[in-house]
Structure 1
Amino acid sequence: MSWLRLQRLVRTSLWLLPVGCLAAGALLAVGTLAVDRAAGYRLVPQSLTGTPSDAQTILSSFATAMVSLTSLVLTVTLVAVQLAMGQFSPRIVGALLNDRFSQVAIGLFGATFLVAVLTLREIRGSDTGTVPGLSMLLSYVLMLASIVVLVLFVHHAAQGLRVAGLIDLVGDRSREFIVRQHGELPVVTGGADEMVAAQPGNVVRVDRPALVAAARQADCVLELVPVVGDFVVGGAPLLRVHPDTRSGASADGRPAGRLRAADVTRHVLLGPERVHTEDLAYGFRKLVDIAVRSIAQPFNDPTTAVQALHRLHDLLRQMAARPLPCGEHRDEDGVVRLTERTVSWDGYVRLAFDEIRLAGASEPQVTRKLCAALADLQGVAPPDRQEPLDRQLRLLDAAVRRAHEDEEDVVAALTPDTEGIGSGADVTAAPPPRAAPAPY
C-alpha cells in the first residue's frame, strides 16, 4: 500500500518534478564549479565567457529573467485553471495541475536561476579576475534551453486552453488506461473490405489524388466513409473498398486484398479538431455557435447574432449559383475511383439557419435579419435551390407566431431588415421628392 501511495504522489504532485530539477541543477553547478577550480579556471578561455565584469552582468540578467519566466508559467497555469473551472468543469483542474510540461518548464527555469546564482558567486575580480568557464557554458546552455522551452510552453498553453485540447486531455488519459488494462485492440466494425482508423480524430484533410492512384492500381473503387470534418472513433470504418464493376471484377475478387490498409489510410489525415483547410462547414459551425451563444442567457446580445448572420448570408450568397462538389473523383481514363459524401445546398442552408431560427425566434433583430437574408438568397439562387429557402421562411413564420401573441409584433418581427432593426421599410423614411428643374 505504501508503494501505491508513493506512485500516486509522483503522478499527482505539482512540486515533485520542479524540486527534482532544482536538485539536478544544483548538482550540475557544484560539479562544474569543482572542475573549474581543479583546472585553475583556465579550462575555458575568457574569449568565450567574457571578462569577470561581463560574466557578472550576463549572469545577473539570466537570474532576473528566470524569476520572471517562472512567474509567467505559474500565472498562465493559474489562469488556465480558472478558465477551465468557470467555462468547462471544476473536475478538469486536477488534470491541468498535473500537466508534466508545465512542471518541466518551472523546474528548468528554477534550475537555470540556481546555476546562474551559484556561478555568479564564484566570479572573482573585475577585468583581470577569474571566471568559472565550464559553469558559464552550462549557464549559456540552460538559458538557451529555457528560451526554447518558453516558446514551446506558450504553444502548449494555447493548445491546452482550447475546448478540444481539454477534452482530448481527459479522453487521451482515459484511453491510455484502457490500453494498459486490455491492450491495444480497438473495437473494429465492418467487414474485410473496410479499412479502419487506427486512432480517433476528425478528418481534416484527404489526399484525393493519392487515393485515386491507389484505387486505379488495385483496379477498385474507394469510398470515403466519413464526411470531411467528421469525428472518427478508433477502429471505425474510414474507407470501403468496392470492386470496379466496369472492368467486370466481382466481389469475390476481393480488391481489398490488393491494398495495404496502412498505405491507403495514411492519405486520410485525422486531427484533434476540425480545421478550415478542406472543411467549409466548419466555418459555418463557428459562426452559428457565435450567433446562438450571443442570443442565449445571460449574454442576450442579438446584435452579435446579426453580425454573424451577415457573414453566413454572404457565404451562402457566394455559393447560391455555384456548383457544389459531386463527391466523385476519376482517374485519367475518366473512371470513378473515389467517392465521398459532401454537404449539399440544403445542408448548408440548414446548418446556417436552423439553430439560429430556433434560438432567436423571440428576438426581432434576429428574425428580421433572417427574413432579409432569405429573401435576398431567393433572388439569386436557381430554381432547384429554392425549396430549402422556402422551408426556412415557413418555419421562421411559425416560430415567430409561437413566440409573439400580438399580430403587430409578428408583422414587425417578419419584416425584412438587413440590420435587424435599422434599415427596414417600417423604420426608414423615403427620401423627399425632387423638385422639377426650372424651365430656361
Structure 2
Amino acid sequence: MVGFRPQQYREGVKISRFLTSVRQSLWLVPVICVAFGIFLSLVTIALDRHFDYKLIPESVVGGPDAAMEILAVVAASMISLAALVLTITMVVVQLAMGQFSPRIVQRILRDKPSQFAIGLFVATFVHSLLALREVDPGSEGQEGTVPGLAVLTAFVLVVVSIAVLVIYVQHLGQTLRVSALIELVGDDTRKLLDRVFPDKGDDAAPTDVANRSIVSPKSGVVTTIGYEHIIEEAKRAGCIVELVPRLGEFVPASAPLFIVRGDAPTLDDKRLTEGVVLKFEPTLDQDVSYGLRMLVDIAERSLSDSPFQDPSTAVQAIDRLHDILRQLARRPFPDGQHRDEDGELRLVVRVLDWDGFVHLAFDEIRMAGAGSPQVARQLRIALFDLRRIALTERIAVIDEQIDLLTTATMAVMDDERDARRTFIDDERAADRRDHS
C-alpha cells in the first residue's frame, strides 16, 4: 500500500486507545473539578489580596478564628462526602453485577453524575484548604486578615455540594432501576450504531398521502397522551389521527406514531408528536394497566423458582388485583374515539378492554402459582367474586379463567386430595366477602 507506515499506524492506535481509556475513566471528571477548585481558590485569593482583604466585610464571613474553624470543618466534611460517594458507587456496582449483569459494570463506572459529585466534593475540599492557609490570625497588637471572597466562595460551594448530594441520591435510586439500566445500555448502543453505520439508507416514501404515517422522533414508552392538544391540532388541519401504540406500549424511534386519515397538508407533525410523552418505562400518570402489571410482577417474583418462595406475598398482590378489577367490573370502558367540541371525530386510540384487564391480572399468576394451595384458593375466591358482580357480557372471560385454573391445579398437584382441599369453600368464601 502506497504511503502506509506501520509505525504511524501503531502510534495512531495507541493514541486512540489512550483517548478511549481517558474518556471512559472514573477519574477524569474529578481531576478536572480539582483543577477548577485550585483555579477558583487562586483567583478569589488574588482578588482578596488586590482589595487588601476588604472586599467582603468580616460581618459576613466572621473573624480569623471563625473563618479558620469553618474552613477546617468544610474541608473535613467534603473529603468524607467524597469517600461516601465512592463507597456508594462501589456498592451499586456490586448490586448491579449480582442482579443484572457483570458486563454492565463498566457503564455504571462511567456515570457522569457520580463523577461530578465526587469532583465537586474534592474541589470544595481543595479550595477550603488553600483558603485556610491564607487566613492570618494575627499576632499580639496586630489585626488578622480574612480572605473574605475565598471564604464566601467556600460557603457557596458547600450549599451547592449539599444540593448535589441530594440530587445524587435521587439519581442513584433512578439508576438502579432495571429499566434505567436497560435504557442506559440501549442509548449507548444506538449512538455507537450511528457512528458505525452512518448511512441510514433510503426512507420509505409514503404510497398513500391520504393515510400517511408520522414517525416517532425518539424511542420510549407512551406514558401520557395529551388528548386536547392532539384534538386541537387535528381539528385545525381538518383530519383524523390514529395513535398507533397503546398507552403503556413501547415505540421504537422512527416507527409509526400516528396515522393521518385524510389529506391534511397544514398538519404540523412536530406539534402533533409533542402531544405524546415518551419515557423509558411506563408510569401511573394515565396507565391503569401498569398498576396491575406491577402487582403481577410482585406476585410472580414471590412465586419464582428460588429457595425463598413467598406465597403469602402473592396472596396480598392477588387481593389488590381483585380489588382493582372489582371496581372495573361494572364500569363502562371508553371506545378510544375522541371528538372535538363540534362532535367531529379527531383522535382514535387503542384501549384495553375488560378481557384484557382480566388476562393481564390473572394469566401469569395462574401459570406460576397454580401449584400453591394459598395462591390457587385466593385466585378462585377472586374470580368467583368477580363473576357475581360483573356485567353479563363480561362473565365469559372469568369462566375461562376458572376453568384454566382448575385444570392447571389438578395437573400440578400429584394427589387429587390436595387439589380438592384447595377448592374447598372457595365459592362460599367469595359469597361471604360479597355480602360483607
TM-score exceeds 0.5: yes
What residue ranges of structure 2 are gaps of 5+ in the alignment?
1-12, 431-436
Q: State how 1:31-430 maps to structure 2 within 5 Å.
A: 31-125=43-137, 128-183=143-198, 185=200, 191=206, 193-243=212-262, 254-255=263-264, 257-298=265-306, 299-417=308-426
Q: Secondary structure at the match of 1:203?
A: strand
What residue ranges of structure 1 are gaps of 5+ in the alignment?
244-253, 426-440
Q: Secondary structure at the match of 1:329?
A: strand
RMSD: 2.1
* Worse overlay, 380-389 or 217-226: 217-226
Q: Contact 1:189–1:235 (CA<8 Å) still a contact in 2? A: no
TM-score (structure 1 length as normaliser): 0.88
C-alpha distance 326-184 of structure 1, shift in aligned 2 (>3 A): farther
Q: Secondary structure at the match of 2:133?
A: helix
C-alpha distance 153-184 of structure 1, shift in aligned 2 (>3 A): farther
In structure 1, C-alpha distance between the alignment counterparts of 2:416 and 2:152, rounded to whole Å: 81
TM-score (structure 2 length as normaliser): 0.89
* Worse overlay, 127-136 or 51-60: 127-136
Q: Secondary structure at the match of 1:198?
A: coil
C-alpha distance 312-143 of structure 1, shift in aligned 2 (>3 A): same
The amino acid of 2:155's aligned partner reads Y
C-alpha distance 185-141 of structure 1, shift in aligned 2 (>3 A): farther
* Runs ≥4 residues deviating over 6 A: 186-190
In structure 1, C-alpha distance between the alignment counterparts of 2:402 and 2:319, rounded to whole Å: 17
The amino acid of 2:229's aligned partner reads A
Query: 1:6 is matched with which residue?
Result: 18
CA shift for structure 1 position 323? 0.5
Identical-residue share of aligned pairs (%)? 46
* Worse overlay, 352-361 or 97-106: 97-106
CA shift for structure 1 position 152? 2.2
CA shift for structure 1 position 150? 1.7
Q: Contact 2:240–2:345 (CA<8 Å) still a contact in 1? A: yes
The amino acid of 1:160's aligned partner reads T
The amino acid of 1:403's aligned partner reads V
Query: 2:3 is matched with which residue?
Result: none
C-alpha distance 104-13 of structure 1, shift in aligned 2 (>3 A): same
Q: Contact 1:70–1:109 (CA<8 Å) still a contact in 2? A: yes
Q: Contact 1:216–1:331 (CA<8 Å) still a contact in 2? A: yes
In structure 2, C-alpha distance between the alignment counterparts of 1:3 and 1:139, rounded to whole Å: 38
CA shift for structure 1 position 185? 4.8
Q: Contact 2:330–2:390 (CA<8 Å) still a contact in 1? A: yes
In structure 2, C-alpha distance between the alignment counterparts of 1:186 and 1:377, rounded to whole Å: 53
Q: Secondary structure at the match of 2:137?
A: coil
Query: 2:5 is matched with which residue?
Result: none
1:246-266 CA distance string (max 9 Å, x none): xxxxxxxx22x2212101111
> Across the two proteins, how many residue pairs are aligned to each other?
410
In structure 2, C-alpha distance between the alignment counterparts of 1:294 and 1:10, rounded to whole Å: 43
In structure 1, C-alpha distance between the alignment counterparts of 2:380 and 2:425, rounded to whole Å: 5
C-alpha distance 184-195 of structure 1, shift in aligned 2 (>3 A): farther
The amino acid of 1:18's aligned partner reads P
CA shift for structure 1 position 405? 2.9
CA shift for structure 1 position 188? 6.2
In structure 1, C-alpha distance between the alignment counterparts of 2:358 and 2:205, rounded to whole Å: 32
Q: Contact 2:296–2:364 (CA<8 Å) still a contact in 1? A: yes
The amino acid of 2:183's aligned partner reads D
1:362-407 CA distance string (max 9 Å, x none): 1010000011000100110011000010000010111011102322
Q: Contact 2:97–2:105 (CA<8 Å) still a contact in 1? A: yes
Q: Contact 2:233–2:268 (CA<8 Å) still a contact in 1? A: no
In structure 2, C-alpha distance between the alignment counterparts of 1:2 and 1:190, rounded to whole Å: 45
Q: Contact 1:52–1:131 (CA<8 Å) still a contact in 2? A: yes
CA shift for structure 1 position 40? 3.0
